[in-house]
Chains A and B, each alone.
Chain A
């Protein structure tokens, strides 16, 4: 039974989204936020922003004295259609919660032409503690191969896909910011935040001829001692090294851009960090994106990904044979956005989660989070409208003052296996429909 809760913990880890807005990069490059970000605000990258990231965050305006420090604050409000059965976190109510969701400080910038990166320290009101958040530190070496521009790079990071330059992998797909106080579907995938901040990864990558991107590396768990120093609660441990790989084709045509790719992660987990059999997760994803940029007055994007996760839960099965040894979780994400004048944005997203039934992982009669049908199948949509008044070339306070105001609505047509009475206690999928508003500052 202990392993069941470990698995739940792992699954729920996948619900958090990294939120990044790093104006010190704008100060370093002399660019406005809109050059790198769709809608003038992170994290959705333009082709220019993708190249800046693949270039190791090292590009600069050539001037000295830039201070590589940024800060970020997110204040949010969450309303669900029906009150939750229990408080979603200590000090919060069963509904209508205002939350100082994140206060972050970044060290973000270049060291020299070959070294750059960011690291984030975050305090959040739901967690009520300060922890080491995401980091991505890079070494890059630009060169010419067969007369074509080529970048070789190495990334040290603590969350698989956080180093990815595209807007489609779990670390960076829409929604870029969401509630941490609303119910979310039970099933997550290992590559989608299951290892976030618990691991150290080293990946080597290359961008050849500005088109071909390939990356290969591996992740190992931090020691308990190191996690304690970073104020992170130790979760399960990777047995050995988890290989991560990524290939993509990218074409930036200035007026538009597209990418297609494949990626994957294979992880053997020791539940509870105890020696013995492992739970094996193999994730393989396919993704694609298109951006119409035009004159930057009307910008439209389409992003999509499909990830298949295969599970062989030998460790969990050994401790609780009620858990199915073999299983799957699949997730489809599609989103499209339109931004006007780099200021006003509308985004619509669709998600569909499917997987095998399991009476232990998706248990009946657990209020709000259980499944009467023992199924993880969930489906829904997210709509967002946002206003980003700053972050352009001639904006007030640029490049220091940045703000985004957003209203987001997430609707569920199926939740943990059913539309009606999904938890066996009378809760419907639509009862979890969530209205989420946020105001996001960065400087």
Chain B
């Protein structure tokens, strides 16, 4: 018992010392990770989210240039604001989820912007189309975990999301705000 407490204390001490010793965050906590979005239809803002995502991260705040991240979104897990919308966006004109079940992001580089702010660049693939994407994000420590929060604007037309009668932006706007919230534990603490 006492030993366990001691080793827990030692572990805690190690985490408190984090900023000094570069620690790499590598174990994504899926249940705390979320990808949400906001879009506008008839200028009415609607919030949605993806319930299932998978991510891998290797991020050391001291060496951001060496960081790597991939994000995989299960498009069928979408909550687009209503059941009617969920059914609609699974179809061919939108995500065509049957043929393209996942959206992926693979980073190519991360640079520090200062003040715990960073920018990740990479390739975003949705519906068989790959585009360069960059997203600013902030990094925070929350206890032992690293928390990454970022937003960027996706233009749905770049990925043919909403074709045919939906291609016009008069009803559903082209710009979609994407918000991501990723929580990762230090790579070494994977068992925790």
Q: Do A and B bind?
A: no
- Show the binding face of A for B, using Cβ within 8 Å: none
